[in-house]
Amino acid sequence: MEIIFGIIIMVLLVWGLINRKKGKTAWIKEERFEESGSWIDKRSGERGTYGSLDDEMEANRQYISLQGKVSELAQSIQSLLSKQLPEFQTKTHDDLKRHFSLIKSELLDYFIQCQGLIKGKSVRQTPQVHALHPLASDLKKSVLNYSYQHFPELLQLDIEILKQLDADCELMCNRILSSLSTERIHKQKLHH
């Protein structure tokens, strides 16, 4: 009787170990879908897999990082303009907010273009501008300096692409500066 009891315990132990090993890998085989029908690549605590959730989080992280760069440079540009342009001092709070959002919008487009160039997209053709604002080249130098510091991969690109990027930057800086003049002319017409 003791021998039969010992054999039953041994069989149960072996059977338990076999099922335990199967249980560890069972989660790999089961299908995991969200309510929307999308495949779930990771569960909380799982490590070593890379999937669509990681791609979304990485894209979101890069966008937030880009927004931070845009805001930082926009503040720097606004500070530079307040030092260089006397009419900038007389602007109302609403005018400054509107101009700040214009700067951020222009910089966001420019930085998205920079990231596209790094990924191999072609550069867009920029029309030539003949009447540049006197501060456009100073502003362009600061934007390009910032761009090359935060996107060092740009320096690996072909010289012709960099020339086109330089022209795009100059055009963007001219738009930012000319928007100040346009606002001033518009206000003068309203007061007269």
134-173 confidence digits (pLDDT tens) = 788 888 999 999 999 988 998 898 898 888 888 888 888 8
Distance between CA atoms of 112 and 117, rounded to whole angstroms?
A: 9
What is the band of 23 on the pLDDT scale with cuts at 50, 70, 90? low
Rounded (5°) CA angle 177-178-183: 105
Report the distance separating Cα 79 and Cα 124, nearest Å: 29
DSSP string, 134-181: TTHHHHHHHHHHHHHHH-GGGGGS-HHHHHHHHHHHHHHHHHHHHHHH
pLDDT at res. 42: 53
N-terminal to C-terminal alpha carbon distance within the chain: 114
Higher pLDDT, 23 or 184: 23
CA 180-187-105 angle, 5° bins:
35
Task: Provide the β-strand partners of residue 33.
Answer: 39
Rounded Cα–Cα distance for residues 151 and 110 (Å): 12
